[in-house]
Amino acid sequence: MGVLRSVPAAVVLAAVIVRTAWRCEYRSYRYVYWDTDHAGENIYLTAESLGLATVAVGAFYESMLVGSWELIVGGEVPHARVPAREESVEVITLAQPHYQWVSRVLPMLGFPRRVVYSEPAPGAVAELLELVGASRVLVVSDPVISRQGFFQSLLETLRDRFEVTVYDSVSPEPPVDVAEEIARAAEGTDAIIAVGGGSVIDAAKAGMVLAERPGLSIEDVAPFSVLGIELEKPVLIAVPTTAGTGSDASYGIVLTRGEGSEREKIAVGSYEVIPLATVLDPSLPLSAPARVRIGAIMDALSHAIEALASTASNPFSEALAEHAARTIFEHAKSALEGDSEAMARIHAAATMAGMAFTNSGLGLAHALAHPLGALLSTHHGTTVGIVLLGVLPIYEKAEETGGRLDRLLRVLQVLGLTRAESLRDAVAQLYDSIGAPTRFRDLGVDAERYREAARLAAERALHEPNIAFSPIVPSVEEMVELLLSLY
Amino acid sequence: MPRFPSKEWAERYCEELNKSEGYARAAKGWVWPILFVVRGGERKGFLLKLNNGKCEGVEWYDNPDEADAPYILEATLDDWLNIIQGKTNPLTAIMRRKLVLAKGSYSAIMRYPIAALEMVKTAQKVPIE
């Protein structure tokens, strides 16, 4: 770095790599470095023609360079710096670790790069794979889905054009270990296709992380921790078969660990694991059993409402959350009765709700439902949907949050979708109309076991990241009382 | 009244943390010191020796670049004041990159959200000039 102080002039080559990445995707770094090489060569030749010497310097402290040039503000990456002495020009080329652009571009909002809406999955997936230049593909799923006709049809279509392997052993609420198994299966592949509900998609995300960063612990995955995998292969394409967890559009990975009273969910996440693309084929959620479809709708609605209630909500997440909630109120009943157009809308709403909460966080209902569901081994969507009924009265009293939820209620009232006077009652009435459970005893949970789980869940909720986005954080005793009232 | 940031403010903050039952409960399991850095302009910083819900001492740094800790949190003066005054939730500040974890594990920080909120509540009890 000392040499830079002695030169009278410098030429700095900088790149905002994301401006190339929107078009050239994973090839963007290659193209930026090629252009840098060509520019550097031209500078060398020009200096030579002017009788100036050139020297390439391979190492400098990036933090000092970007600070002095204020390049970090715009997310620019210093690529090369060419200071000129009186008699020489020096070329400094920065070997920029390719992933650092992620930490410099404010990851405030993250979305899948492509959303394929209301299209048959096989053709859409094949087209996306060709877009990314894939040749070897891993399809991840669970043993139930892999026996379905649509899954075989998908494999048939893909095997015509790609080399395909299958991992179909994901279990519901998958354990942490599944990540390593999927990572091993994904070795040497260009793409992972996750076909299933939230468990499958989350497991595939975790597998993708370990495939690209072996030796990393999944529990170290956190927003803004730089993984450096966003533009690497294998890429992830999600085909959600439920409507839905929103995992196809979210940054979250939820896995489980431990047994019995030590069983807990670990919820981690990174903007870098948001799938590259999601393919919404409405025929898929229509084929799921009724109980699964109802739980998925409860999950999607909880995501939408908690995203709206979150203390970190913003105009983008609010728009997505409000529309998703409205759509669910409008179309849930028809979708459950088999209307494919209605299910297409619910499917999209679930993905929108996933986009919303990825960019706003969730809240108290999820902070309680994660540990409670782990202890009771109950379906996540059903669990959080019931807990939401206990949390909404708290939210509706909070100042800013209450205002946003009140606006949603008034929209529902104006559209004739509810006559309830509170959002909590509107949700309860919706549940009633679609045959959704509203109490944990309806799930066959033993009373004594529930009391014990409620106490543990309330304590563990304090360590759930999502609780930080709740407008009000009750005491442990108040949370226990809330959960007991839902039995 | 102490200025923020100052050694006096940091010491009073440490005392208030030790009086907070909410912080004591929420921070059980947190055993790492944190270096708080005010960046931009004149960089200043203070290190809190936090251990299982207690603050065991303060170290003040006129030049925080000379200090090290397993966790280092940085923000501008304005952003620190917004967090202390409750205008910005600390985890939202992390999401919006107003508060930067310059060193340490994000996933560990994210498991202590209530401790973070209790620290903010406690900071509000220390008046600022």
Q: What is the average pLDDT across A375-390?
A: 96
Rounded Cα distance between A149 and A225, Å, is 40
CA atoms within 13 A on the CB side of A203: 33
CB A204 within 8 A of CB A194: yes
Residue B107 lies in a domain: yes
Looking at the predicted structure, is the pLDDT value of residue A464 above 60? Answer: yes
Interchain pair A469, B91: CB under 8 A = yes
- Reference B9, options B99, B84, B88; nearest CA is B84
Query: Mutation test of the interface with chain A: which of B91, B96, B103, B121, choosing the one with the most A Cβ atoms within 10 A?
Result: B91
CB neighbour class for B113 (10 Å; exposed up to 12, middle 13-18, buried from 19):
buried
Strand partners, A91: A56
Looking at the predicted structure, is the pLDDT value of residue B112 above 70? Answer: yes
CATH number of the domain where residue B114 is located: 3.30.1050.10
Length of chain A: 487
Q: What is the average pLDDT across A344-373?
A: 95
CB neighbour class for A143 (10 Å; exposed up to 12, middle 13-18, buried from 19):
exposed
Most confident residue range from A68-77, A114-123, A267-276, B87-96:
A114-123
Looking at the predicted structure, is the pLDDT value of residue A279 above 70? Answer: yes
Strand partners, A84: A9, A89
Domain count, chain B: 1
CB A293 within 8 A of CB A282: no
CB B39 within 8 A of CB B54: no
Sequential DSSP letters for B3-54? -SS-HHHHHHHHHHHHH-HHHHHHTTT----EEEEEESSS-EEEEEEEETTE
Q: How far is B113 from chain A (nearest CA, A)?
A: 5
CA angle A385, A389, A394 (to 5 degrees): 130
> In this predicted model, which residue has the larger pLDDT, A230 or A108?
A230
Q: What is the phi/psi pair of residue B124, to 5°?
A: -70, -15
Rounded Cα distance between A325 and A307, Å, is 10
Distance of CA A482 to the CA centre of its chain: 29
The pLDDT tens digits for A21-78 are: 656 666 666 777 778 778 888 888 888 787 787 777 666 655 555 444 433 333 344 4
Please give the C-alpha separations between residue A219 and each of A31, A227, A459, in angstroms, as whole numbers: 34, 12, 20
CB A485 within 8 A of CB A390: yes
Q: How confident is the model at residue A270 (pLDDT cuts 50, 70, 90)?
A: confident
Three state DSSP letters for A73-84: HHCCEEEEEEEE
A337 touches chain B (CB under 8 A): no
Residue B110 lies in a domain: yes
Looking at the predicted structure, is the pLDDT value of residue A7 above 80? Answer: no
Residue B128 lies in a domain: no
Partners of residue B105 in chain A, C-beta under 8 Å: 220, 222, 225
> In this predicted model, which residue has the larger pLDDT, A469 or A155?
A155
Rounded Cα distance between B42 and A92, Å, is 30
Q: What is the average pLDDT across A291-317?
A: 95
Query: What is the pLDDT at residue A62?
Result: 54
CB A284 within 8 A of CB A367: no
> In this predicted model, which residue has the larger pLDDT, A360 or A24?
A360
Rounded Cα distance between A476 and A460, Å, is 9
Interchain pair B111, A463: CB under 8 A = yes
Please give the C-alpha separations between residue B109 and each of A125, A127, B1, B43, B91, in angstroms, as whole numbers: 38, 41, 30, 23, 9
Structural domain containing residue B49: 7-122
Partners of residue B97 in chain A, C-beta under 8 Å: 106, 108, 224
Interchain pair A106, B92: CB under 8 A = no
Q: What is the average pLDDT across A215-228?
A: 77
Q: What is the phi/psi pair of residue A462, to 5°?
A: -65, -20
Length of chain B: 129
Rounded Cα distance between A392 and A390, Å, is 6
Query: What is the pLDDT at residue A325?
Result: 98
Q: How far is B108 from chain A (nearest CA, A)?
A: 8
Provide the percentage of residues in chain B whose pLDDT is more than 70. 100
Strand partners, A237: A193, A277
Other CB atoms closer than 10 Å to residue A319's CB: what's the count? 14
**With a CB-CB cutoff of 8 Å, which residues 91-110 of chain A face chain B?**
106, 108
Provide the percentage of residues in chain B whose pLDDT is more than 90. 58
Query: What is the pLDDT at residue A82?
Result: 46
Q: What is the average pLDDT across A271-298?
A: 93
Q: What is the average pLDDT across B73-94?
A: 87
> In this predicted model, which residue has the larger pLDDT, A191 or B91?
A191
Strand partners, B37: B45, B74
Domain assignments of chain A as residue spans, ordered by start? 2-104, 110-288, 292-487
Q: What is the phi/psi pair of residue B48, to 5°?
A: -105, 125
Query: Mutation test of the interface with chain B: which of A63, A463, A470, A472, choosing the one with the most B Cβ atoms within 10 A?
Result: A463
Give the helix/strand (H/E) hosting A21: helix A17-24
Rounded Cα distance between A26 and A394, Å, is 45
For residue A258, what is the DSSP state? Answer: -
> In this predicted model, which residue has the larger pLDDT, A30 or A278?
A278
Residue B1 lies in a domain: no
| CATH code, residues A110-288 | 3.40.50.1970
Q: How confident is the model at residue A10 (pLDDT cuts 50, 70, 90)?
A: confident
Residue B41 lies in a domain: yes
A224 touches chain B (CB under 8 A): yes
Domain covering A292-487: architecture: Up-down Bundle (1.20)
**With a CB-CB cutoff of 8 Å, which residues 374-433 of chain A face chain B?**
none
Instruction: State both tokens at A5.
Output: 């102080």
CB A308 within 8 A of CB A361: no
- Please, what sign has the CA dihedral across residues A342, A348, A353, A354? positive
Q: How confident is the model at residue B16 (pLDDT cuts 50, 70, 90)?
A: very high
Query: Mutation test of the interface with chain A: which of B106, B118, B119, choosing the one with the most A Cβ atoms within 10 A?
Result: B106
CB A255 within 8 A of CB A174: yes
B127 touches chain A (CB under 8 A): no
- Reference A368, options A281, A456, A472; nearest CA is A456
The pLDDT tens digits for A414-450 are: 999 999 999 999 999 999 999 999 999 999 999 999 9
Q: What is the phi/psi pair of residue A162, to 5°?
A: -135, 165
Looking at the predicted structure, is the pLDDT value of residue A412 above 90? Answer: yes
Other CB atoms closer than 10 Å to residue A248's CB: what's the count? 29
Query: What is the pLDDT at residue A17?
Result: 64
Looking at the predicted structure, is the pLDDT value of residue A101 above 90? Answer: no
Provide the percentage of residues in chain A whose pLDDT is more than 70. 84
The pLDDT tens digits for A120-152 are: 999 999 999 999 999 999 999 999 999 999 999
- Reference B18, options B8, B27, B5, B31; nearest CA is B27
Tokens 């679609």 locate to A434
Whole-structure pTM value: 0.79
Query: What is the pLDDT at residue A97?
Result: 34
